[in-house]
């Protein structure tokens, strides 16, 4: 369990830092100014998503344990092209997860660590968590990255229709949490 938690923290921190770094490279210093361009996990802890919800799921013996980090602040008005900026910033998190999965896979395949050792298990969990988080975040439901990607790619006419869904993120997230508890 500790190995899974360590891998989870590494994966979500890299995910969030990738968002902030790409935004910074595109002209938005918001994440940097907020001290969020750091690999220190403390800067990315969301009390509910990183601590409370995973702890409750573990204590209730849920078959699925999930959580989230505190989202990196991004101000699209700082981008030269806000739609392109949000598209690239939103893609950065899942892309970082897939790159991390590839890196972990290469290290794993090199056989540097004995089978069933702590580092061997960490790499396996890192691969799994990276892939799941990367794929999950591409689902186009607010507040996931996939919704921001979809909003950035939609034509202006269709964008107005879907913008109303942005405010429903808590509803979607609550429904998902209830669903996870019901599948047990």
Structure tokens at 155: 């034509």
| Three-point CA angle 67, 39, 86, nearest 5° | 70
Choosing from 16, 87, 96, 138, the catalytic residue is: 16
* pLDDT surpassing 60 at residue 6: yes
The count of residues in the chain is: 184
Q: Are 96 and 103 in contact (CB under 8 A)?
A: no
CA distance 115 to 95: 28
Upstream peptide bond of 26 is cis (omega within 30 degrees of 0): no
What is the overall mean pLDDT for the chain? 88
How far, rounded to the nearest angstrom, does the alpha carbon of residue 57 sit from its chain's CA centroid? 18
Mean pLDDT of 102-111: 97
CA distance 40 to 59: 26
Instruction: Say how many Å lie between the first and final Cα of the chain, rounded.
Output: 19
Q: Please give the pLDDT value at position 149.
A: 94
Structure tokens at 55: 């702890």
CA distance 17 to 23: 10
Q: Are 90 and 148 in contact (CB under 8 A)?
A: yes
* pLDDT surpassing 70 at residue 172: no
Domain boundaries, the chain: 2-182
Q: 151-160 pLDDT, tens per residue? A: 899 887 766 6
Q: pTM of the entire structure? A: 0.86
Residues sharing a CB contact under 8 Å with residue 146, sequence separation 6 or more, in sequence order: 90, 137, 138, 139, 140
16 is catalytic: yes
* pLDDT surpassing 70 at residue 162: no
């Amino acid at each position: 369990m500790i190995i899974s938690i360590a891998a989870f923290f590494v994966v979500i921190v890299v995910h969030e830092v990738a968002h902030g770094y790409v935004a910074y490279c595109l002209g938005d210093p918001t994440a940097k100014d907020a001290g969020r361009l750091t690999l220190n996990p403390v800067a990315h802890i969301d009390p509910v998503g990183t601590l409370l919800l995973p702890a409750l799921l573990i204590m209730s013996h849920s078959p699925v344990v999930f959580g989230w980090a505190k989202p990196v602040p991004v101000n699209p008005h700082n981008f030269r092209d806000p739609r392109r900026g949000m598209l690239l910033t939103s893609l950065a998190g899942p892309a970082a997860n897939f790159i991390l999965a590839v890196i972990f896979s290469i290290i794993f395949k090199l056989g540097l660590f004995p089978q069933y050792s702590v580092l061997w298990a960490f790499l396996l969990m890192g691969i799994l968590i990276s892939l799941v988080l990367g794929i999950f975040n591409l689902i186009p439901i607010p507040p996931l990255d996939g919704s921001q990607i979809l909003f950035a790619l939609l034509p202006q006419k269709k964008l107005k229709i879907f913008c109303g869904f942005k405010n429903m993120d808590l509803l979607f997230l609550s429904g998902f949490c209830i669903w996870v508890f019901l599948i047990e």
